[in-house]
Amino acid sequence: MATTHHTLGSIQIPRGMVWADEFNWSPVEKSAEYSVTGALLIDAATKLAGRPLTLQGTSDAGWIDRGVLKALRALAAADAVGVHVLTLADGRIFNVQFAPGEPIEATPLARPELPPDSYPYIATLRLIEV
């Protein structure tokens, strides 16, 4: 069932923020090396977690309000390693954490002197599936 927004816990995120790296991850990790006899040794394992889930807006879609960004930053600061439920607008549900480093980047749509909480930003929200 599609909705008009994504949600992270109780925080509503614009549906226009798309999952930018949805197909840039493989659930299988492989490595290959040659043995001393010259035989190729392949090691493979299934990844259990860590899939990146990056929601990204652009200059013409997926703008996010300053107030929502403040709520996301507060959640990241208060519970950076906690598990949060992300529900995408298309109904898919994931257990996620904020990604290491800077999980939230945002730039105001213009350069307002005193932006209200409703002011739009172009943002990137980096999460990882756990």
Residues in Cβ contact with 36 at an 8 Å cutoff, skipping those fewer than 6 apart: none
Give the pLDDT of residue 75.
95
The span from the CA of 78 to the CA of 91, in Å, is 26
Distance of CA 86 to the CA centre of its chain: 9
- Averaged confidence pLDDT in the chain: 94
Residues in Cβ contact with 40 at an 8 Å cutoff, skipping those fewer than 6 apart: 32, 33, 34
Residues in Cβ contact with 129 at an 8 Å cutoff, skipping those fewer than 6 apart: 49, 50, 51, 52, 53, 94, 95, 96
Tell me the pTM.
0.87
Give the pLDDT of residue 80.
74
Q: How confident is the model at residue 23 (pLDDT cuts 50, 70, 90)?
A: very high
Q: How confident is the model at residue 16 (pLDDT cuts 50, 70, 90)?
A: very high
pLDDT higher at 113 or 119: 119
Mean pLDDT in residue range 11-17: 96
* Residue 1 clears pLDDT 80, i.e. is over it: no
The span from the CA of 61 to the CA of 15, in Å, is 9
Mean pLDDT in residue range 17-37: 93
Mean pLDDT in residue range 2-20: 94
pLDDT tens digits along 61-104 = 999 999 999 999 999 999 878 999 999 999 999 999 999 999 99
* Residue 20 clears pLDDT 90, i.e. is over it: yes
